Structures are given as structure tokens and as C-alpha cells.
Amino acid sequence: MSHESPGDVVFSAEQISRRVAELAAAIRRDAADGPLTILAVLHGSAVFLAELLKRLGTTVDVEFVEASSYRDGTTSNGQVALGRCGRLDLAGRDVLIVDDIVDTGHTLAAVRRAVEATGPRSVRTCVLLDKPSRRQVDVALDYCGFVVNNVFVVGYGLDYAGRYRGLPHIARLEG
């Protein structure tokens, strides 16, 4: 039986709200020359995406891709499984990949490679959290909410074995 549970708050709901508004403003400024297609990485990015979309105030297309390297553990196994959700026709588009966290970099790199193979006009990345201490693959981050230490975090869409996504803040996983 698992005894993991959320511990100390790392980023409060208020801190996250302010930072998401700042990210949306930067994205709006940079995407001013045309429509934007957001490719959201499921499932962790769902809460972040919803809040980001509320603040973008621009016409955007939203597509989804399923990607996972954690399974039910707390460390990435380095092998990324990608699954398409809906169409992934990104040729000639300005694409913004949105994800909850970049850790080893394997997932974001795999998604970016898949996007680039479709012939987009441009590709940018936006993550809520960056954990550079665990990076194994170099990935460019155009927009980043917060840098987090090498701790496992849950809440605001981030989960442990499917739990704790609904927390309004981000907390350290204890146990």
C-alpha cells in the first residue's frame, strides 16, 4: 500500500495564477502576427492549458498528444510513448507545445521531433515547470513558468499514479 501524499506547498495558487497571466501576455505578444496552434501534452498539461487559454484572448487552435515516460512511478524511464489525439496536421502552422513539466527532457524532445516532422512554420515550447537538475536531453524552452528543484511535485494537473491533479497549488510529494 502506498503512503505518498502532498506535503509542503512549492507554488501557491496565487503565484501560479500570476505567472500564467505573464506567460499568456508573452505568448500573445510573440504570436501577434498570426494564428497559433497549441499542441497540449496530455494529461498533465490540462489544468495549465485551461488557465492559459482563458488568458490568451486570441484565436487559437488546440490539438492534443498523449505522451508518457513516468507510468506510475516518480522517475522517468527515458522511453516516451506518444499517442495522437485527433488530427496532428501542423504543416505550415505556428505551433506552441504546452506541457506541465520538463524533467529529463525526453518527452518534450520526442513531441518536438514529431511536430517538426509535420512541417510547421515555427515551433515554440511552453512549460509550467522546469526541473533542469534532471535533464538528460537538451531541449529549448521558450516560455517557462517556474524552475523547481529535484523534488517530485503534484497538483495543478501534475499527478502521482493518477492522483492529486486537482490540487489548486503545486506541492512536494511526501512519503
Q: Are the C-beta atoms of residues 39 and 65 closer than 8 Å to each other? A: yes
151/49 Cα distance (integer angstroms): 23
103 belongs to the catalytic site: yes
Q: Are the C-beta atoms of residues 38 and 49 closer than 8 Å to each other? A: yes
Helix (H, G, I), strand (E, B) or coil at 83: strand
Angle at 12 between CA 29 and CA 7, to 5 degrees: 140
136/139 Cα distance (integer angstroms): 9
From the candidates 99, 103, 130, 159, which is the catalytic residue? 103
**Residues recognised as catalytic:** 103
